[in-house]
């Protein structure tokens, strides 16, 4: 095959896989030869060989065939790391092997054999929009991805649903792999960790399990709250964690809440998790949501050329859909797909019509938990003190503010609110609410604090 044929195939792939995928995965491929029905490409890393084999080989093959290139299979040869590493990928015939990696490593199983979860190619730093609520988490993730001596261990990222924890973890993994393809990065969810552990126990393969997890250079465990209450898994996690930290290997953990707030997690694990850097992803604010929408809309515009987008629609969505970024993304995707199907301009009316269910579900619903979190942050007290027994004023007053705001901003009854504040009686809640009402008329600082918090919660 001539190289200009491959050039044409690349051009077509650019259109089908999108700009980012193209730049990350297709552009670096070098066609070596087509021989005996096999199109052989060289790639810079075995990680990339695997990824391309798994995700793009079918498409590459399809386009090659469309231009009458006599290939029924594609293979990827790692050029720089180890010339012997070849990853074979699917052909159209069903007897073809699934991707096989033949990389060998002296320090344990090859990167390809690590029992991790696949990384999403879209979750890169380039695609991550930074704003006030996530700037610290983003900076910490970048710092860890740079490699070098381990400065904080573990990096613990936490935050509510769909705020970008997994995205940042994958971005770190991609970046580390690009910087140093030899590093053994293992990313998996805590659930998968447990599953592997149970399987090793059942198959009497505990030594292999231990060796495998202790042989990685970077361990990433997503949604660690999952192992809370699972005693043996916690125990094994604890030992794995310690062994890696002792060897100076980087660990990155995510959870839906801070280590200290994870119920049924052993204290010794909580304290280990707090040893490094703990950073949270705050709920998005309007500016961040708009930034994310603008970036994603830009990508869709390239995909759905010719679609007209009325002014103010993105602002409207950023204002109305405040739940999480996943919902925001879903809404935008639906809007573009719908508009292109019916061939209409994307106007405010179209958005309202097509997204009626999402908009209805997103009608601002502030929760007591959100109020407790915001108020404790504002007064710099621990979230656990909100529901704990302490009665000193520096804690009791913020607690009353949170009770007051819960009464004002949610539809919860006084007993329901009491239950969420560590099982307090409804009369305690009533007393707290009244106290804050009074204080707002006599204490201007209290008035300002409550107003500020209310605005932030309603934003």
Ligand X SMILES: Nc1ncnc2c1ncn2[C@@H]1O[C@H](COP(=O)(O)OP(=O)(O)OP(=O)(O)O)[C@@H](O)[C@H]1O
Rounded CA separation 206/292 (Å)? 44
Binding region for ATP: 162, 164-166
Spell out, one character per residue from 165 to 184, where the chain touches ligand X: x when CB under 6 A holds, - when not: xxx-----------------
Q: Minimal distance in Å, beta carbon 306 to ligand X?
A: 25
The answer for residues whose C-beta is within 8 angstroms of residue 148's C-beta and 6 or more apart is none
Closest contact distance (angstroms) between CB of 237 and ligand X is 18
* Residue number, 163 or 371, with CB nearest to ligand X: 163
Q: Are strands 155-159 and 250-255 parallel, antiparallel or unpaired?
A: parallel
Stretch that binds ligand X, among 102-110, 195-203, 272-280, 322-330 (CB under 6 A): 322-330
Among residues 164, 259, 283, 432, the one that binds ligand X under rule CB under 6 A: 164
Among 99, 109, 116, 162, contact with ligand X (rule: CB under 6 A) = 162
Considering the complex, what minimum distance in angstroms separates the CB of residue 402 from ligand X? Answer: 24
Query: Which DSSP state fits 389?
Result: S
Asked if 225 interacts with ligand X (CB under 6 A), we say no
Binding mask 181-200 for ligand X (x = CB under 6 A): --------------------
Name which of 47 and 123 has its Cβ closer to ligand X: 123
Q: Which residue is nearest to ligand X (CB)?
A: 164
- Binding positions are 162, 164-166
Number of residues that bind ligand X (CB under 6 A): 19
Q: 307 in the Ramachandran plot: left (φ > 0), alpha (ψ -120 to 50) or beta?
A: beta
- Site for ligand X contains 258 (CB under 6 A): no
Asked if residue 128 binds ligand X (CB under 6 A), the reply is yes
Contacts with ligand X in 329-358 (CB under 6 A)? 329
How many Å is the maximal CA-CA distance in the chain? Answer: 87
- 123 interacts with ligand X by CB under 6 A: yes
CA atoms of 401 and 132, how far apart (whole Å): 25
24-31 contacts, C-beta under 8 A, 24 or more apart? 24/121, 24/124, 25/51, 25/52, 25/55, 25/56, 25/121, 26/52, 26/56, 26/60, 29/76, 30/79, 31/1, 31/3, 31/6
* 170 or 249: CB nearest ligand X: 170
User: What minimum distance in Å lies between the beta carbon of 340 and ligand X?
Assistant: 21
What string of DSSP letters covers 213-282? HHT-SEEEEE-GGGGTT-HHHHHHHHHHHHHHHHTT-EEEEEESS-GGG-TT--HHHHHHHTSSEEEEEP
Q: To the nearest whole angstrom, how small is the minimum distance from the Cβ of residue 101 to ligand X?
A: 27
Report the run of H or E that residue 90 belongs to, with start and end.
strand 86-91
Helix (H) or strand (E) run with residue 35 in it: strand 30-35
Based on CB atoms, which residue is closest to ligand X, 329 or 370?
329
113 binds ligand X (CB under 6 A): no
How many whole angstroms separate alpha carbon 97 and alpha carbon 89? Answer: 7
* SS3 of residue 304 by DSSP: coil
Residue 163 interacts with ligand X (CB under 6 A)?
yes
Confirm or reject binding of residue 292 to ligand X (CB under 6 A): yes
**Residues in contact with ligand X by the rule CB under 6 A:** 123, 127-129, 134, 159, 161-167, 223, 256, 292, 325-326, 329
């Amino acid at each position: 095959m001539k190289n200009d044929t491959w050039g044409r195939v690349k051009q077509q792939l650019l259109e089908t896989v999108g700009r980012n995928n193209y730049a990350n995965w297709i552009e670096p491929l070098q066609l070596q030869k087509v021989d005996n029905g096999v199109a052989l490409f060289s790639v810079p890393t075995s990680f990339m060989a695997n990824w391309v084999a798994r995700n793009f080989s079918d498409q590459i093959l399809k386009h090659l065939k469309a231009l009458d290139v006599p290939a029924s299979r594609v293979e990827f040869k790692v050029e720089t790391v180890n010339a012997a590493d070849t990853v074979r990928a699917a052909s159209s015939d069903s007897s073809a092997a699934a991707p096989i990696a033949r990389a060998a490593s002296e320090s344990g199983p090859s990167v390809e054999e690590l029992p991790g979860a696949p990384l999403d190619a879209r979750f890169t730093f380039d695609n991550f929009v930074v704003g006030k609520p996530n700037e610290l988490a983003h900076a910490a993730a970048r710092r860890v991805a740079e490699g070098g001596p381990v400065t904080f261990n573990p990096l613990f990222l936490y935050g509510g649903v769909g705020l970008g924890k997994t995205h940042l973890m994958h971005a770190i993994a991609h970046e580390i792999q690009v910087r140093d393809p030899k590093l053994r990065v293992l990313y998996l969810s805590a659930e998968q960790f447990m599953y592997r552990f149970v399987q090793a126990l059942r198959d009497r393969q505990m030594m292999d399990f231990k060796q495998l997890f202790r042989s990685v250079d970077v361990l990433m465990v997503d949604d660690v709250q999952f192992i809370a209450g699972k005693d043996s898994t916690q125990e094994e996690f604890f030992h794995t964690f310690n062994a890696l930290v002792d060897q100076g290997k980087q660990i990155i953990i995510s959870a839906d809440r801070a280590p200290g707030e994870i119920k049924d997690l052993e204290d010794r694990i909580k304290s280990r998790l707090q040893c490094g850097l703990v950073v949270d992803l705050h709920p998005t604010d309007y500016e961040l949501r708009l930034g994310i929408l603008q970036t994603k809309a830009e990508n869709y515009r390239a995909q759905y050329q010719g679609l007209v987008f009325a002014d103010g629609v993105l602002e409207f969505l950023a204002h109305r859909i405040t739940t999480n970024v996943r919902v925001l993304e879903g809404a935008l995707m639906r809007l573009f797909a719908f508009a292109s199907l019916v061939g209409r301009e994307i106007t405010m009316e179209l958005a309202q019509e097509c997204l009626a269910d999402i908009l209805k579900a997103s009608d601002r619903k502030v929760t007591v938990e959100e109020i407790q979190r915001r108020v404790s942050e504002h007064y710099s007290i621990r979230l656990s003190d909100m529901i704990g027994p302490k009665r000193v004023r520096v804690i009791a007053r913020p607690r009353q503010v949170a009770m007051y705001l819960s009464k004002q901003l949610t539809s919860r009854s006084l007993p329901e609110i009491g239950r969420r504040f560590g099982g307090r009686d409804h009369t305690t809640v009533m007393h707290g609410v009244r106290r804050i009402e009074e204080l707002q008329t006599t204490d201007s600082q209290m008035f300002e604090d409550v107003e500020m918090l209310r605005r932030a919660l309603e934003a």
